[in-house]
Amino acid sequence: MIIAFVKYICSHYLDLIHIGRLMKKSLVMFYALLFLTTLNAQTQDTTKRTKLSLIDVIITETRNLNTISAPAAIEGEIIHAIKKSDVIHLDRTNANVITNNARQVFGKIAGISVWENDASGIQINVSCRGLSPNRSWEFNVRQNGFDIAADPFGYPEAYYNPPLEAVEKINIIRGASSIQFGPHFGGMMNYILRKAPETKKVEVETRNSLGSYGLFSSFNSLGGTIKKFKYYGFYQYRKANGWRENNAYNIHNGYLSFQYAFTPNINLSAEASYMNYVCQQPGGLTDSMFTQNPQQSLRSRNWFNVPWVVPAITLEVKLNEQHSFSIKANGIIGERNSIGVVKAANLSDTLNLTTGAYQNRQLDRDAYRNFGLEYRHLFKYAAFNKKHALSFGAKYFYGNTKRNFQGKGDNGTDYNLNLQDSTYVRSLQFQTQDASLFAENLLQVTDRLRLTTGLRFEILYNSGKGRLNYKSDGSENLITPQQRTRFIALSSVGIDYNVVGKTFFYGNFAQAYRPVQFADLTPPATTDSVDAKLKDGSGFNADLGYRGKIGSWFNFDVNGFYIYYANKIGTITQLREDNTTFQLKKNLGTAHHRGFEGYIEADLFQAFNIHKIAGNLSLFASCAYVDARYTDFKVITYNSSTSQLEETNLKNKRVEFAPRFTNRFGATYTYRIISVTYQINWVDGIYTDASNTEKASANGQSGKLNGYHVMDLSATLNLTKYLNFRGGVNNLANTSYSTRRAGGYPGPGLMPADGRNWYISLGVKF
């Protein structure tokens, strides 16, 4: 399989390059600048080729231009070398971290797709390479190294993410993370929170912000180091009325951590994260309503609430120069609560003229109780006069999800969880257990050539049971109890070669899978069925590219990628012997995602050596092309006029929510105490269903969405190292656009993104 893939890339790599011709003049300039700069570097460095060891590469691979860099080859017990990975440094960016503006924060990470229907930043919805951005569920989402999603295997939606004002950096690995972190096709995303200052016993920071539509945010932190003891904590409160009608929110975020160094080589830390928010859900729109006024809302009684607590303990031990290990234990105590009207957008929520009251709202509640334990060990060793490293470990996860849906709520307008009946119509319980062993080895084959190989073995068990609804006689309709145990083996290989200076060719191949989700185990009605042989989605990620740094003024990373995604789950109509129909959920589809990702950034004033008098002018381009298509996706429907089943195939249809082009361009000018960033986002149109429906449906839940251009302007003014101002204007041209349609949460229909809005903040540290 690996050989076949390499042959495929070699035969089609030029095709990927020619894709750039479709990306207008911007990408022509992209390639030209990359070629000229690399050629210049090769000319300068042909006479002096530096021999590199593993330790040397840790230094030379680091990029430090502006806001993103490549991680060190080894950090703690984790091997980052060779992988397609980036680190976003939030303390260097001008991006709007007040409301977690993802299109700005992730702007330089080529190919990141963003759903923009939640301007509060409560949930960050991102993905890559044509995968769904829904609550970042195609990523293994972590905070400080441990899982924070509802259930990484059965329900991997990230309802919680930390406030970005409290985040030091974000580490993103695309594709090749499945061995060390878990099976996700999208990769791994790790929010690394700020830590206690090393040189102060007490440090206090406060940042208060105001903005459009009643935005108010207050972030306050306290931390310090006293001998062997470190402490750090923060509290953030944020509220606003929202750009759309009926879109108010209140958010509380808190965090507390303590660390004690028993010796310089033994550290024990404990931490806990807390989040609780209540937000009003304005619901979706039809396309005609969106054209008329994208800020309008027909839902004033819909509310959403997530309380979330994540406790964790970490032990870090360095035994000697060769051996170190860490043990992380964490839990999740979380809920997902909603109350509202779940009608389609073209159906109004109206008063009953007889009673003068609204209809009762639907009440849905989830409860999550999870536990995780992860051991990691790093072994550095020497062989054949070279330094190498082996990272290995084990992980155990237990998750319990209770799901109560279709409860009868009250007929009021405020947020509450008052159940009017004695029980919920639907009550289900799911459990997940996963035990895994993993190992990845980094070999310094020659002074310039490195190789990684990895294996992961998992035993995954999940189960589902409970009530689907009630029968007409009041008895329970129970789902068929589901119990599934699988043994899964994954492998990976990666290679890179130091071409010249600090530039590298690299390539990766890593198997991945997507476990059967809780929703897949639950038929929509008791008359429907789930295939007893339902399989996990399976396949692999691969990429081949060239990246590096030229001097101190130019960074680049360009690559082609390919995702093979088999056993995608869908629903088909089937006939019984009595000619009645039922819906069968089973494995139906295969998708192929292929394309190009490219990032370049150049500090022009540094290149011409005038930065000491003129400041720094950094220009960047972050471009991606994705051709994500179904190569086989069977669809069977029932024709009532002929009483026959009709089979079609969605072969060559584009994968839903996968834009072909995602291009971001920007410039940052910095002079002494001021830094200003301008960014433009150009994103292609998307289909919102696998059938590639062009025309919008009457309820706004299906149909193609047009592409869009959005501009942002942000700035930072550092008056002293203790006092600074930040501010900006999001969506500078007040563009009307949408990035998604919804069939359920956060309200059926087309979901508008926010129009123009501003913010300003004052930060003080002492």
- pLDDT tens digit sequence for 427-447: 999 999 999 999 999 999 999
Answer yes or no: CATH 3.20.20.70 is held by domain 2-765: no
Query: In which band, very low, low, confident or very high, does the pLDDT at 569 lie, cut at 50, 70 and 90?
Result: confident
Q: Are 97 and 121 in contact, with CB atoms under 8 Å apart?
A: no
Query: In which band, very low, low, confident or very high, does the pLDDT at 60 lie, cut at 50, 70 and 90?
Result: very low
pLDDT of 578 over the 50 cut: yes
Query: In which band, very low, low, confident or very high, does the pLDDT at 399 lie, cut at 50, 70 and 90?
Result: very high
Weakest-pLDDT range from 218-232, 524-538, 594-608: 524-538
Distances (CA, A) of 437 to 179, 534, 742: 9, 24, 38
Provide the pLDDT for residue 526.
Answer: 65
- DSSP string spanning 657-673? T--SEEEEEEEEEEETT
Digit-coded pLDDT (tens) for 457-485: 999 999 999 999 999 898 999 988 888 99
pLDDT of 1 over the 70 cut: no
- For the chain, the residue count is 766
Provide the pLDDT for residue 527.
Answer: 65
What does the alpha-carbon distance between residue 154 and residue 167 come to, in Å, rounded to a whole number? Answer: 27
Dihedral of alpha carbons 406, 408, 410, 412, sign: positive
Q: Are 625 and 111 in contact, with CB atoms under 8 Å apart?
A: no
pLDDT of 28 over the 70 cut: no
For the chain, what percent of residues have pLDDT higher than 70? 91
Provide the pLDDT for residue 584.
Answer: 83
pLDDT of 326 over the 80 cut: yes
Provide the pLDDT for residue 112.
Answer: 96
Provide the pLDDT for residue 524.
Answer: 73
Digit-coded pLDDT (tens) for 658-692: 999 999 999 999 999 999 999 999 999 999 999 99
pTM, 2 dp: 0.90
pLDDT of 49 over the 50 cut: no
Residue type at position 45: D
Weakest-pLDDT range from 53-62, 155-164, 185-194, 367-376: 53-62
Q: 105-115 burial, b if ≥16 CB within 10 A, otherwise e?
A: bbbbbbbbbbb
Listed residue (433, 328, 330) closest to 376, CA to CA = 328
What value does the mean pLDDT of the chain take? Answer: 89
Provide the pLDDT for residue 757.
Answer: 96
Provide the pLDDT for residue 350.
Answer: 85
Query: In which band, very low, low, confident or very high, does the pLDDT at 695 lie, cut at 50, 70 and 90?
Result: very high
DSSP tag of 21: G
Listed residue (117, 87, 92) closest to 102, CA to CA = 117
What does the alpha-carbon distance between residue 539 and residue 505 come to, in Å, rounded to a whole number? Answer: 24
Query: Residue 601: helix, strand or coil by DSSP?
Result: strand
Listed residue (564, 468, 477) closest to 519, CA to CA = 468
What does the alpha-carbon distance between residue 374 and residue 77 come to, in Å, rounded to a whole number? Answer: 12
Query: Residue 417: helix, strand or coil by DSSP?
Result: coil
Q: Are 180 and 511 in contact, with CB atoms under 8 Å apart?
A: no
Provide the pLDDT for residue 179.
Answer: 96
Digit-coded pLDDT (tens) for 549-559: 998 899 999 99
Higher pLDDT, 45 or 701: 701
DSSP tag of 229: E
pLDDT of 117 over the 90 cut: no
Query: Residue 45: helix, strand or coil by DSSP?
Result: helix
- DSSP string spanning 479-503? PPPEEEEEEEEEEEEEEEEEEETEE
pLDDT of 2 over the 50 cut: no
pLDDT of 739 over the 90 cut: yes
Provide the pLDDT for residue 62.
Answer: 34
Digit-coded pLDDT (tens) for 622-642: 999 999 999 988 888 888 788
The DSSP bridge partners found for residue 645 are 638
What residue segments make up the domains of the chain, in order of their start?
Answer: 2-765
pLDDT of 113 over the 90 cut: yes
pLDDT of 40 over the 60 cut: no
Long-range contacts of 272-275 (CB under 8 A, 24+ apart): 272/309, 272/310, 272/311, 272/312, 273/143, 273/148, 273/160, 273/162, 273/308, 273/309, 273/310, 274/308, 274/309, 274/310, 275/160, 275/251, 275/306, 275/307, 275/308, 275/309
pLDDT of 7 over the 70 cut: no
Provide the pLDDT for residue 663.
Answer: 97
Q: Containing H/E element for 40?
A: helix 24-45
Structure tokens at 12: 């089609």
Provide the pLDDT for residue 37.
Answer: 38
pLDDT of 15 over the 70 cut: no
